[in-house]
Amino acid sequence: MSPAAPVRLLQVTDCHLKASPDGEVKGWMTDRSLTQTLEEALDGEPRPDALLLTGDLAQDGSRPAYARLRERTENLGCPVLCIPGNHDDPQVMASVLSAEPFAYCGDYGFDHWRLVLLSTWDGDRGGGRLSAPELERLSDTLSTRPEPHQLVVLHHHPVPIGSAWLDGVALDNAREFLAVLDASPRVRGVVWGHVHQLHDSQRNGVRLLGTPSSCFQFAPFLDQPALDERGPGWRWIELHPDGRIDTRVQWVGSDA
pLDDT digit string, tens, across residues 89-127: 999 999 999 999 999 999 999 999 999 999 999 999 999
End-to-end CA distance of the chain: 34
Grade residue 2 by pLDDT with cuts at 50, 70 and 90: low
Which tens digits make up the pLDDT trace of 52-95?
999 999 999 999 999 999 999 999 999 999 999 999 999 999 99
* pLDDT at residue number 123: 94
Grade residue 255 by pLDDT with cuts at 50, 70 and 90: low
Backbone angles phi, psi at 118, to 5 degrees: -110, 150
* pLDDT at residue number 88: 98
Q: What is the DSSP string of 198-217?
A: -EEEEETTEEEEE---SS--
Q: Which residues contact 180 (CB under 8 A, 6 or more apart)?
A: 135, 138, 139, 142
* 7-251 placed in CATH 3.40.50.970: no
CB 58 within 8 A of CB 17: yes
Is the confidence at residue 219, as pLDDT, over 90? yes
Cα angle at 126 between 120 and 127, to 5 degrees? 45
Is the confidence at residue 241, as pLDDT, over 80? yes
If one counts every other C-beta atom within 10 angstroms of the C-beta of residue 53, the result is 29
Grade residue 256 by pLDDT with cuts at 50, 70 and 90: very low
Mean pLDDT of 211-239: 97
- 141/163 Cα distance (integer angstroms): 32
CA 119 vs. chain centroid, Å, equals 11
Is the confidence at residue 1, as pLDDT, over 50? no
Grade residue 253 by pLDDT with cuts at 50, 70 and 90: confident
Q: What is the mean pLDDT of the chain?
A: 96
If one counts every other C-beta atom within 10 angstroms of the C-beta of residue 162, the result is 11
Helix (H, G, I), strand (E, B) or coil at 96: helix
